[in-house]
């Protein structure tokens, strides 16, 4: 019986799920069991849309449909936290299972702090995340750096420090460091992220640390809550999932991979923030002068929604319809999220004027955290 704190290798018992799923299909199998057993009423998952650059959030109530969501989509840059909020708002008693990246989870936690999401109604399967690549940037990178037609690629993954693609006729991998030195690779917010293993989910899952004969055929699972232990134990007892204790060497390797990712994230923070340190507010003023006040940064932020109407309407400092907006428009938005930006990157990803909003928000949040951390101690998660 698994308990909170345990680490195991797990894989799907069903041969079809085992074949289709990533790393043995454990997450798909656990979601299927949660749905069939009644632990949840629905599962919110992500499936491939028109191609692997098109990630589509999908609400599933038929366990058989979960096979459509197997596999990773690193070129789909969705944030699920507000999608979850909207579903819970429209279904007042429903319980849902969700597979979450670190930024999804941080967004949900911030929403819960604002009484906008009830975490007790969620069964959260966290996945280790080394970052994602914007769809447009991914196509450009594959065409220019890999010299492969982006439409010919049918699978991609980030593994062992490489971005790897599979296409008709072969596969190719290039080191992430090499790609990013040349301006390709992960989104800038992902490079700076320090929340690689989402331990505030019920289960933290991934391929880091799976070695020996289980490499590529099982998922490393860290049990992070009693709810997660219950799901895993019941799924094993029902024959939906098979599991064994994680290899101690694998646990050590997982820790080394995580530490290497954190070191890389800190290096990117240093590089990104040092460029702003001499003239942060001047840079913000110049960059935000391009703003067309489309409100995308507000509407897609998981923590800005309480101030959305105030920022959209007239006030003493922000005038409705004024383009470019008075600098106070952005300054008030930055002030509002200065203690809670989760570095999800949605504001920057979806800005039609390519303003580096995530960089500014993250720099302000990090500067504030550094001032208070000695007094408050480490946060429950580090973004």
Local confidence pLDDT in tens for the 383 residues of the chain? 899 999 999 999 998 888 877 889 999 999 999 999 999 999 998 888 888 899 999 999 999 898 888 777 888 889 999 999 999 999 999 999 999 999 999 999 999 998 999 999 999 999 999 899 999 999 999 999 999 999 999 888 887 788 999 998 899 999 999 999 999 999 999 999 999 999 999 999 999 999 999 999 999 999 999 999 999 999 999 999 999 999 999 999 999 999 999 999 999 999 999 888 778 889 999 999 999 988 899 889 998 865 555 555 555 556 666 788 888 888 888 988 888 999 999 999 999 999 999 999 999 988 877 766 654 443 445 56
**Residues 63, 195 within the same domain:** yes
If residue 32 lies in a helix (H) or strand (E), which one and from where to where?
helix 26-37
Same domain, 163 and 208: no
Tell if the pTM clears 0.75, that is, is over it: yes
**Considering the domain boundaries, does residue 268 fall inside one?**
no
Task: Write down which residue in 199, 227, 260 finishes a domain.
Answer: 260
Cα 177 from chain centre: 20
Q: Are residues 34 and 98 in the same domain?
A: yes
Residues 234 and 332 in one domain: no
Size of the chain, expressed as the number of residues it contains? 383
In a domain, 271, yes or no: no
Q: Are residues 365 and 252 in the same domain?
A: no
Residue 381 lies in a domain: no
Q: Which residues contact 87 (CB under 8 A, 6 or more apart)?
A: 42, 44, 59, 94, 96
- Based on the domain organization, do 102 and 250 belong to the same domain? yes
155: Cβ contacts below 8 Å, ≥ 6 apart: 52, 71, 165, 166
Query: What CATH number does residue 153 fall under?
Result: 3.10.450.750
Residue 166 sits in the same domain as residue 285: no
Same domain, 63 and 29: yes
**Residue 383: inside a domain, yes or no?**
no
State how far the Cα of 150 lies from the Cα of 170, in Å rounded to an integer. 13
In a domain, 315, yes or no: yes
Q: Where are the beta strands (DSSP E) in the chain?
A: 7-12, 42-48, 55-60, 96-100, 122-127, 153-159, 162-167, 170-175, 203-206, 219-223, 241-245
Q: Determine the structural domain holding residue 59 and report its residue range.
A: 7-132+186-260
Same domain, 21 and 104: yes
CA 338 to chain centre: 20
For residues 155 and 108, membership in a common domain is answered with no
- Of 196, 230, 260, at which residue does a domain stop? 260
Listed residues 197, 227, 260: the one ending a domain: 260
In a domain, residue 181? The reply is: no
Q: Does residue 272 lie within any of the structural domains?
A: no
Report the number of distinct structural domains present in the chain: 3
Residues 191 and 303 in one domain: no
Does residue 382 lie within any of the structural domains?
A: no
Instruction: Say yes or no: 67 and 192 in one domain.
Output: yes
Q: Are 141 and 125 in contact (CB under 8 A)?
A: no
């Amino acid at each position: 019986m698994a308990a909170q704190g345990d680490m195991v290798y797990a894989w799907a018992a069903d041969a079809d799920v085992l074949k289709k799923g990533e790393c043995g299909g454990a997450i798909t199998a656990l979601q299927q069991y949660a749905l069939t057993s009644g632990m949840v009423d629905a599962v919110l998952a992500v499936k491939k849309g028109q191609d692997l650059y098109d990630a589509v959030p999908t609400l599933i109530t038929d366990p058989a449909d979960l096979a459509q969501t197997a596999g990773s989509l690193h070129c789909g840059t969705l944030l699920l936290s507000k999608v979850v909020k909207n579903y819970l708002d429209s279904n007042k008693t429903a319980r849902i299972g969700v597979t979450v990246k670190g930024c999804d989870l941080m967004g949900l936690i911030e929403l819960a702090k604002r009484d906008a999401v009830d975490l007790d109604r969620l069964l959260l399967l966290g996945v280790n995340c080394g970052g994602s690549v914007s769809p447009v940037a991914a196509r450009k990178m594959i065409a220019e750096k890999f010299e492969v037609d982006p439409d010919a690629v049918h699978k991609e993954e980030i593994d062992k420090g490489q971005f790897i693609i599979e296409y008709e006729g072969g596969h190719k991998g290039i080191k992430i460091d090499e790609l990013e030195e040349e301006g390709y690779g992960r989104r800038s917010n992902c490079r700076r992220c320090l929340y690689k293993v989402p331990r505030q989910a019920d289960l933290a899952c991934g391929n880091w640390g799976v070695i020996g004969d289980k490499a590529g055929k099982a998922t490393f699972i860290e049990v992070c809550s009693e709810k997660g232990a219950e799901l895993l134990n019941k799924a094993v007892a029902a024959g939906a999932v098979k599991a064994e204790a994680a290899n101690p060497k694998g646990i050590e390797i997982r820790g080394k991979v995580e530490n290497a990712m954190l070191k890389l994230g800190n290096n990117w923070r240093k590089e990104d923030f040092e460029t702003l340190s001499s003239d942060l507010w001047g840079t913000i003023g110049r960059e935000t002068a391009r703003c067309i006040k489309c409100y995308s940064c507000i509407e897609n932020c998981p923590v800005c929604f309480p101030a959305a109407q105030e920022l959209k309407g007239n006030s003493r400092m922000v005038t409705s319809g004024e383009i470019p907006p008075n600098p106070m428009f952005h300054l008030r938005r930055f002030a509002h999220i200065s203690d809670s930006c989760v570095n999800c990157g949605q504001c920057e990803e979806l800005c039609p004027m390519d303003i580096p909003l995530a960089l500014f928000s993250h720099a302000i949040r990090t500067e504030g955290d550094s001032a208070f951390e000695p007094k408050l101690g480490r946060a429950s998660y580090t973004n």
